[in-house]
Amino acid sequence: MTFTWTFTPLGEAALLAEAVTADHEAANRAALAAAAALEAGRPPGFIAATPAIASLLVCFDPLVAGHAAMTAIVRALLEDPPPLREQGRVVTIPVTYGGEAGPDLEEVAAILGITPAEVVAAHTSGPFRVMMIGFAPGFPYIGPLPPRLRVPRRATPRATVPPGSVALAAGLTGIYPARLPGGWHVIGRTALRLFDAAAEPPALLAPGDLVQFVADA
Amino acid sequence: MLDVLASGPLLTVQDLGRTAARRYGVPASGAMDRFALVAANRLVGNPPDAAALEITAGGAELVLSAPALVAVTGADLGARCNDRHLPLWTAVRVGRGERIRFTGRSGEWGARAYLAVTGGIAVPIALGSRATDLAGGFGGLAGRALPPGDRLPIGPPPPLAELAPGRYWPPELRPPYGSRPTLRLLPGPHVGGFGPEALELLTTRIWRVGATSNRMGYRLEGPPLAALRPFDLPSLGVVPGVIQVPPDGAPILLMADAQTTGGYPVIGTVIGADLPLAAQLLPGDALRLTLATLEEALAAHRALVAMLNQPLDADEGDLLAAMAGWW
């Protein structure tokens, strides 16, 4: 481990560990491994773990586990992560790129200085890893993407983006599980359902999954 | 059955929420004022996490199709039963066909009242909770706020429930509700990116809850909080109580329906013991923020749980055992 973690209370019942590194991929792998170990081991007082791009949030009952004790447990897991039992799962996501399904494909190509076909080729070159679920139920943050696909967020977010929209921003790709406001560039759409509260599990994707995008013929 | 005759601005089914579903990106949801919800449930003999109605600002009207023991806690929203005043924080027997209605905030403070019925609101459990997730469209009844005409099933009374009309929750065992509350906060992970004057402004000025506030969060109106330089944060986990500061400098206090992750810097987190006070604010209401230590936050948490665990009657030992770790 060549980087450190900072720990800050988010109130008396949660602590946030943030990696001090630009290597988000390494930090994310450690956060996922630590979250999986916490979910499996359920130390006294543990309630929930939220791994994110380069951080880990742990919610706990402060009447059972003190902040210092929980921080010590989380720090040990992050600094010497247990082997991550990656599900090894590759999930194929069929995407209709461009046109009405992907209104920003041309703009993304222009920003990157490549053709729309080259954007699609790069996006389907994967697989890419699900780094976290957040923003909305079942919304996957997938990446990091290769540099040739890195675009910033849209200058003006859209009020609504249709469900299944496949989008790019901040070096990541994501899929909107529902009709939501969106600041990412939408390059395509999938017909797969990303979130269903009645299903078990409710989210199609989990952190650690590998996503292979495939262009619809 | 509990029939909805009128809804007011927002009427929802809520319990203590679904923390365990955070891993799927699902907000906790649940009662904004968890203290008032648990108190209402205890008064009517329910387990602390039973589902009840959250009435917002008033305007709601409900009628029971069978006599039941009910309790209304939280804000004084002018609760009436037919033409009688309905005492708050008290277990009351309400007859079939009697109308429970809320005329609106009466007094200086208050946003949300909780109506618990013995047996609880028996809507289906979704992802471990009966709470309504308004953004996700699941939980509660059909995943939405309750319009007039909705019929809510009531569960069977819990076994061994002590059903005692007149049971009362005294003011000294409630959070210090009032107008312009002072909410205590712990410094957040990104406070260093703002410089001392931002924290000074945050903890000395009077803030107002903005018009666009809702169950996800409150926009706080006051002087803008300037970052020393623009933040570029990867998305990170957040919880209710977190105060985020977007680039426009207007802080957002996250509440019960907040998303599980966010990309804005976190300047501080309101302590759990003061979230019931925050839950009783409506747009336009004023509040203050003040710094606390982790030790103070823990002491306040313990004190709140002790108030909730205070025996109201001599024979509630079994219920107390069932409440361990509810908060």
Tell which CATH architecture fits domain A90-215: Beta Barrel (2.40)
Confidence of residue B259 (pLDDT cuts 50, 70, 90): very high
Q: Does residue B116 sit within a domain?
A: yes
Residue B165 pLDDT greater than 90, yes or no: no
At residue B313, the pLDDT reads 64
What are A157-200's pLDDT values in tens digits? Answer: 898 999 999 999 989 999 999 999 888 999 999 999 999 999 99
Mean pLDDT, range A15-44, rounded to an integer: 95
Confidence of residue A85 (pLDDT cuts 50, 70, 90): low
The amino acid present at B28, given as its one-letter code, is: A
Q: Which of B129, B130, B134, B236 to mutate to test the interface with A (most CBs of A within 10 A)?
A: B236
Contacts of B271 in chain A (CB under 8 A): 11-12
Confidence of residue B327 (pLDDT cuts 50, 70, 90): very low
Number of compact structural domains in chain B:
2
Mean pLDDT, range A124-136, rounded to an integer: 94
Do B215 and B163 lie in one domain? The reply is no
Contact in structure between B255 and B279 (CB atoms under 8 Å): yes
At residue B163, the pLDDT reads 75
Residue B324 pLDDT greater than 60, yes or no: no
Q: Does residue B327 sit within a domain?
A: no
Do B190 and B133 lie in one domain? The reply is no
Q: Do B235 and A141 touch (CB under 8 A)?
A: yes
Q: Do A49 and B23 touch (CB under 8 A)?
A: yes
What are B155-164's pLDDT values in tens digits? Answer: 998 887 767 7
Give the CATH number of domain A4-79; options: 3.40.1180.10, 3.90.650.10, 3.20.20.100, 3.30.1360.40: 3.30.1360.40
Alpha-carbon distance of B1 to B65, in angstroms, equals: 5
Q: Write the CA distances from A28 to A52, A208, A209, B139, integer angstroms.
A: 7, 9, 13, 31
Q: Pick from B122, B148, B174: which residue ends a domain?
A: B174
Backbone angles phi, psi at B22, to 5 degrees: -55, -35
Contact in structure between B18 and B127 (CB atoms under 8 Å): yes
Nearest neighbour of B25 by CB, restricted to A39, A59, A134: A134
Which helix or strand (DSSP H or E) is residue B73 part of?
A: strand B68-74
Which helix or strand (DSSP H or E) is residue B287 part of?
A: strand B286-291
At residue A23, the pLDDT reads 93
For chain B, the residue count is 327
Contacts of B305 in chain A (CB under 8 A): 63
At residue A213, the pLDDT reads 98
Do B16 and B150 lie in one domain? The reply is yes
Q: What is the residue range of B30's domain?
A: 2-174
Alpha-carbon distance of B206 to B217, in angstroms, equals: 18
Q: Do B234 and A134 touch (CB under 8 A)?
A: no
Residue B184: left (phi > 0), alpha (psi -120 to 50), or beta?
beta
Residue A57 pLDDT greater than 80, yes or no: yes
Edge-to-edge strands, sheet with B84-85: B84-85, B79-81, B99-102, B60-64, B2-7, B151-152
Contacts of A137 in chain B (CB under 8 A): 24-27, 133, 136
B204, B49, B53, B62: which is closest to B132 by C-alpha?
A: B53
Do B29 and B143 lie in one domain? The reply is yes
Contact in structure between A10 and A48 (CB atoms under 8 Å): no
Helix, strand or coil for residue B285? coil
String of b and e for A89-115 (b: at least 16 CB within 10 Å)? eebebebbbbeebbbbbeebbeebeee
Confidence of residue B108 (pLDDT cuts 50, 70, 90): very high
Q: Which of B22, B235, B327 to mutate to test the interface with A (most CBs of A within 10 A)?
A: B235
* A95: closest CA of chain B, how far (Å): 22
Confidence of residue B63 (pLDDT cuts 50, 70, 90): very high
For chains A and B, what is the number of CB pairs under 8 angstroms?
151
Do B23 and B167 lie in one domain? The reply is yes
B180 CB burial (10 A radius; 0-12, 13-18, 19+):
middle
At residue A170, the pLDDT reads 87
At residue B325, the pLDDT reads 45
Q: Does residue B324 sit within a domain?
A: no
Contact in structure between B300 and B183 (CB atoms under 8 Å): no
Q: Do A50 and B301 touch (CB under 8 A)?
A: no
Do B15 and B146 lie in one domain? The reply is yes
The amino acid present at A31, given as its one-letter code, is: A
Domain boundaries, chain A: 4-79, 90-215
Do B158 and B189 lie in one domain? The reply is no
Q: Which residue has the higher pLDDT, A87 or B40?
A: B40
SS (H, E, C) B210-265: CCCCCCCEEEEECCCCCCCCCCCCCCEECCCCEEECCCCCCCEEECCCCCCEECCC
Q: Which of B144, B231, B260 to mutate to test the interface with A (most CBs of A within 10 A)?
A: B260
Do B191 and B110 lie in one domain? The reply is no
User: Which residue in this structure is represented by tokens 């770790």?
Assistant: B325
Do B103 and B238 lie in one domain? The reply is no
Confidence of residue B290 (pLDDT cuts 50, 70, 90): very high
B295, B249, B251: which is closest to B271 by C-alpha?
A: B295
* A57: closest CA of chain B, how far (Å): 5
Mean pLDDT, range B240-249, rounded to an integer: 95
Q: Do B25 and A139 touch (CB under 8 A)?
A: yes
Helix, strand or coil for residue B102? strand
B293, B290, B288: which is closest to B220 by C-alpha?
A: B288
Whichever domain contains B272, its CATH number is 2.40.100.10
Q: Write the CA distances from A7 to A15, A20, B192, integer angstroms.
A: 7, 11, 14
**Please, what is the end-to-end C-alpha distance for chain B in angstroms?**
29
> Dihedral (C-alpha) B248, A163, A203, B258: value to the nearest 10 degrees?
30
CA B212 to chain centre: 18
Q: DSSP state, B107?
A: S
Q: Pick from B118, B139, B174: which residue ends a domain?
A: B174
Contact in structure between B55 and B102 (CB atoms under 8 Å): yes
Residue B323 pLDDT greater than 60, yes or no: no
Do B14 and B130 lie in one domain? The reply is yes
Which residues, at least 6 apart from B90, have a Cβ–Cβ distance to it below 8 Å? B43, B71, B166, B167, B168, B169
Nearest neighbour of A11 by CB, restricted to B23, B137, B272: B272
Alpha-carbon distance of A217 to A16, in angstroms, equals: 44
Residue A129: strand pairing partners: A143, A210
Residue B44 pLDDT greater than 60, yes or no: yes
| Average pLDDT, rounded, for chain B | 93
Q: Write the CA distances from B317 to A40, B51, B93, B160, integer angstroms.
A: 32, 22, 23, 11
Q: Which of A3, A6, A8, A10 to mutate to test the interface with B (most CBs of B within 10 A)?
A: A10
Strand B182-187, strand B286-291: pairing: parallel
Largest CA distance in chain B: 62
Do B207 and B158 lie in one domain? The reply is no
Mean pLDDT, range B164-183, rounded to an integer: 94
Which residues, at least 6 apart from A176, have a Cβ–Cβ distance to it below 8 Å? A136, A139, A161, A162, A163, A164, A165, A167, A182, A194
